[in-house]
Amino acid sequence: MFKDREDAARQLAARLKGRPLKDPLVLAIPRGGVVTGAVLARELGAELDVVLARKLRARYDPELAIGAIGEDGEEYLARFAYSVIGIDDDYLVQERAHQIAEIERRKQRFRAVRPAAAIAGRSVIVTDDGVATGATMLAALHVIRAKQPHELIVAVPVGPPDTLETLARHCDHVESVLKPDWLGGISGFYGDFTQVEDEEALRLLRDHQPPRAAPQ
């Protein structure tokens, strides 16, 4: 178990130190992922930014991700989505619209603090405070891959093996500290899993100082 998100991120960073990275960029999935991302960026000497992706929720179980959508409109829909009670085309149209509106709201807030970082040709580390189904992370990977990074790395403190294996097919490397066979909820692996509000995530972005480029 981790003490909190910072403890988890430090353990995760230790696993990535020593890996050769090209102009590294950490992209965090808000909001909890920004805490993880800020520690990773500090420990690895990387730039910090966010990637805006939202899960598509099941009608009667909002914690269940049946898919996800990225800030460019790229969508991932789980194979089991239509087998979930209450899921049909009409519901998906409404849920997409809701999540796109939330992405736009966050884009206005986060991009006012930190304009989108350049991705092409860089080692990009995508992080969150954990993954369960991995739907939101998959949406983020699709968005980022289209921008031609040098390499794409998923780094999360905790995630089940099957989800991590799925993510590995969409990136170059996956790093995780804990890989439990059964994941009742990400919060169960943290002593302190206090909800992160927009203001905290924005402060972390604002306070992070990107590393200076080495003299030519």
pTM summary value = 0.86
Sign of CA dihedral 107, 205, 112, 170: negative
Please state which CATH number belongs to domain 5-205: 3.40.50.2020
Q: Distance of CA 47 to CAs 14, 22, 66, 80, 113, Å? A: 17, 11, 31, 36, 14
Residue 113 has pLDDT above 80, yes or no: yes
Yes or no: say if 9 and 39 are a contact pair by the CB < 8 Å rule: yes
Residue 213 has pLDDT above 70, yes or no: no
What span, in angstroms and rounded, lies between the C-alpha atoms of 103 and 99? 6
Reported as a single tens digit per residue, the pLDDT across 174-208 is: 999 999 988 878 999 999 999 999 999 999 999 99
Yes or no: say if 136 and 156 are a contact pair by the CB < 8 Å rule: no
Residue 68 identity (one-letter amino acid): A
What was the pLDDT predicted at 212? Answer: 64
Reported as a single tens digit per residue, the pLDDT across 120-153 is: 999 999 999 999 888 889 888 988 988 899 999 9
Closest CA to 141 of 97, 186, 174, 111: 174
Instruction: Characterize the bridge pairing of strands 25-28 and 47-50.
Output: parallel
Yes or no: say if 214 and 194 are a contact pair by the CB < 8 Å rule: no
Run of H or E residues at 174: strand 173-178
Q: Which residues contact 101 (CB under 8 A, 6 or more apart)?
A: none
Reported as a single tens digit per residue, the pLDDT across 22-81 is: 999 999 999 999 999 999 999 999 999 999 888 899 999 887 888 888 887 888 888 899
pLDDT over 90 for what percent of the chain? 70
User: How many whole angstroms from its chain centre is CA 63?
Assistant: 16
Tokens at residue 151, please?
Answer: 């390499």
